[in-house]
Structures are given as C-alpha cells and as structure tokens.
Structure 1
Amino acid sequence: MASASPSAENIPTKSCSMGSSLRYHLDYDNELVVFLSGGTAVVETDAGITVTFDWRGRVSVSLPSNYQGAVCGLFGNYNGKAQDDLAMRNGQSSKNGAELGESWQVALVPGCSSVCQGAWCLACYDSHRKKYQAQKYCGIIADLAGPFRDCHSRVDTAPYLEDCVYDACQHHGHQGSVCDAVGVYVSACQSQGIPIRSWRTDAFCLCPSNSHYTLCATGCPATFFFNLPHHLPQGLLKGLRV
C-alpha cells in the first residue's frame, strides 16, 4: 500500500456533543480510512486489511483470503492451522507470548523492556491464580454453566482465562481490568456469531451510572455526527448505551 500524507483538507476536526469530544473520520484518497464504529477505532485499507482497537487492549487484524499463507508475525501465518500460530522469526514454536513478542521485535527502544520492571510489578503466585480463577473474578469465562457456555466449544477459554488472571494479578483484582478481560472473550465469541447470555449484573461488572449494557446494539446512525463512507461496516456491537 502506498503511503499517504494528510493534507490540510483531511485533517480531522472535533465535534462536541453531549459533553464528549468526537473526531470525524479520516479518509486518505480512499487508500486508508480511519473511523469509529461504536466504541471501537477502525482502520481500513484499499487492500482489504482491517485493524480494530477497543481503546483498552484488544487489537484485531482481518485480512482478505488472498493473504492466506503469505503473512507471518505476532498474528500468525493465516494458514488455517492454529497449532503453528506461535511460530517465532526462526520458525520454531515459542513457549509463551513474551518469547513470541521478543522474536519479532524490530528495534530496541531505550527504557523499554520485555519484562515488567519496577516496584509496582507483581509476581502472580499460585495462591493469587487460585483466587482470580474463581467465579468472583475470571472464572466466569470458563464456567460450564455460565453465560459463555455455548461458546466454549468454538473459542478456547484457556488463553483468555490466563490473560484475565494475569491482569487481575497485576491490578490487585481491580474489577475494571477483570471486566475488560472478560469483554475480550465476549468479543471473540460474538465475532464467531455465537450467542452468549447476559453477564453483567449488579454484583459483577456493573455498568456506570446513567447507562445500561446491551449485548448486541447498532452503532450510531450515519447522520448522527457525519456522513459515513458507503463501505463502512454496519455490524452489531456490544457496549454500554447511555
């Protein structure tokens, strides 16, 4: 894809509505489009590549079928075989996510490290893992009778539960980090078209004041803030509604 430099005409402006500042979409000569879909940032290219970011920690990359078997890196090689998606740059399988990330590192940045450093870093001991694997925290992900039970056969709970427990350890069980981690599994299930049951309650991941949670909701109408390009997806989104 050819690079494009933003001109004065397509630098985004801001629109304030209901007390929040929102950016218009960016369009670089139809080669690159950046916009919001619900609460998710979306980047689309004319090559058919789509990148999304939920502003909390989940990134997804979607490629058209002509890229199958022609890519490599942190997101796998797109060959339909999940068992070799953790291949490092040297072709060997990595033992964990840290080793995978280090193998594909393209540059060393002063002050950055692949491991947590500082007094705030916490080791996650077995006692911590047991605590945060319980239903009160991350256990809801793998609960056989829980709201995600119909998804378990299609989306493996193990890596999502592990990530949730890790986040809970690092943040002393802070509910916000747990809810975000559970939300990642919710998104993975919904992206496969798998119905899930309501999981937010008054006792677990309660929505903020003056809002309610909807598992499946449409994004803002196209005429709400600006006219969306004709090719933007109009899928259903999970999220808080005000």
Structure 2
Amino acid sequence: MKCGLTDSETCLKAVTLALSGESTVVKVDQSGNVDVNRIYSQLPLYTGDLSIFKPSSFYIVIQTNIGLRLEIQLVPIMQVYITAKSTFQGQTCGLCGNFNNIQADDFTTIGGLREATAVGFANTWKTRAGCPDIKKRFENPCSLSVENERYAKYWCSMLTDPAGVFSPCHSEISPDIYKSNCMYDSCNCEKSEDCMCAALSSYVHACAAKGIQLNGWRNTACSEY
C-alpha cells in the first residue's frame, strides 16, 4: 500500500497465503505476527498443509506440502521471496509471471492478453476493485534531490564495484538491475537507508540461492542491522 511522502512510494504490509480452496489461510504482517485462519499462532507451527518457522530474526519461512515456499523478510522492510517447484512451470499467473521460462510473455494480463508496460499489466491484477489504477511515471526520483542521488549512488555503487564485497557473485548474477532498483528505491523512500539496505539484501539473497555466500557486506553497509 501507499506509504511515505510520495505517491509512488509503496510498502508491503502483509502477505496472505491461501491453500486447499482457502480452507487454510495464513497471514503474516510486517511485525512478524502470524495468523492461521484468523487465529494468532505461535511459531514454529506444523500442520498437514505446511510448516511455518522463523530461522532468524530477519525471516519467516512458510514451506507447503505442494512445493511452494515463501521466505518473508521482515528487516529492514518487509519483502517476500517465492519459490515454486518445477512441477508448477507454466501453471502460475499474476505479478510474478507464468513460470514458463519465456520472459517476453510475463506481462500477461488477467484476461490472457499481453501488455507492453508494467503499469498496464499490474493494473489488471488488482484484487480490490476500489483501488485506483497506478499511473505511469516518467520522472526519476533521484532527479528530485541532489543529496538523495549522491547518497544512493555512493551506497548502491558498491553492488557493481569489481573489487568490492559483492564481486564474487558478478559472474553468476549481473548486479546492474539490482543497482538500478537500489538507486530508485533509495531516492524514492522516506527512509532511504532502510530501502537501500533492503535492495542490497535482495542481491545477497539471489546470490545465496545460487550457492554463493556473500559475507561481511554488512560491515561496510547497513551495520545497524
């Protein structure tokens, strides 16, 4: 939902997972509270459908018996990473794409058409009719503040530094798009440091999923966390 000072700044406030024809509904809020079928639940929790546990103060993990896994990051801001088993290939739909390994058709609308822009695509997947459409924005938030741009460039450039702490992963995952997202979010967020650290952690998370562990990056950035 909308948060912060600008119209374009949004925050993830909760993640809801519905399983078995919605007979099991799990909701996790940004504070880490977990409700199962609207009842507050202590972790770890194990049922026939899923297991929910908190491996660290940063994450809540939901592992389902159908091959869907959610890693919900709580610090410094809420983020969600979704992993689906290969048996789901071509069967998914929504904002994460259709999982057919063809990136060109991921902007498929709820009606089955293909949109050219992210904004047009996202607007078709609204779950509440009362939510206003997203409007396409052309301005770069970093152009609105020299101070914010300088801050974002200093920290986010660490991602692409060929001799930096993130460089062992460069050959596996290009850091360029992560740097762009880091710059945009750091300039656009009311709490620049939180968004910058979340963007850096996204790259670290992606590298870890590929088996590349990046250690010590918090010593140079985001030591508060």
Q: State yes or no: 1:63 paired with 2:57.
A: no
- Secondary structure of the 1:69 match is coil
1:24 is matched with 43
Q: Kindly tell me: are residues 197 and 37 of structure 1, through their superposed partners in 2, closer, same or farther at Cα, counting changes over 3 Å?
A: closer
Higher Rg of the two aligned structures: 1
1:150 is matched with 168
- Secondary structure of the 2:173 match is coil
Shift of 1:194: 1.7
* Larger proportion of helix: 2
Q: Kindly tell me: are residues 43 and 11 of structure 1, through their superposed partners in 2, closer, same or farther at Cα, counting changes over 3 Å?
A: same
Shift of 1:138: 0.9
- Secondary structure of the 1:137 match is helix
CA contact (8 A) 2:94 2:125 kept: yes
> Unpaired runs of 5+ in structure 1?
13-22, 117-121, 209-242
% of aligned pairs identical?
25
Normalised to the residue count of structure 1, the TM-score between the two structures is 0.64
Q: Kindly tell me: are residues 148 and 41 of structure 1, through their superposed partners in 2, closer, same or farther at Cα, counting changes over 3 Å?
A: same
Letter in 1 for 2:73: D
- Secondary structure of the 2:197 match is helix
Q: State yes or no: 1:159 paired with 2:177.
A: yes
1:92 is matched with 114
* CA RMSD across the alignment: 3.4
Letter in 1 for 2:53: F
- Cα distance in 2 for partners of 1:197, 1:24 equals 28
Shift of 1:173: 7.1
- Cα distance in 2 for partners of 1:47, 1:191 equals 20
Pick one of 69, 78, 88 that aligns with 2:99. 78
- Cα distance in 1 for partners of 2:217, 2:37 equals 45
How many residues align? The count is 189
> Unpaired runs of 5+ in structure 2?
1-19, 26-35
Normalised to the residue count of structure 2, the TM-score between the two structures is 0.68
CA contact (8 A) 1:70 1:78 kept: yes
Letter in 2 for 1:206: S
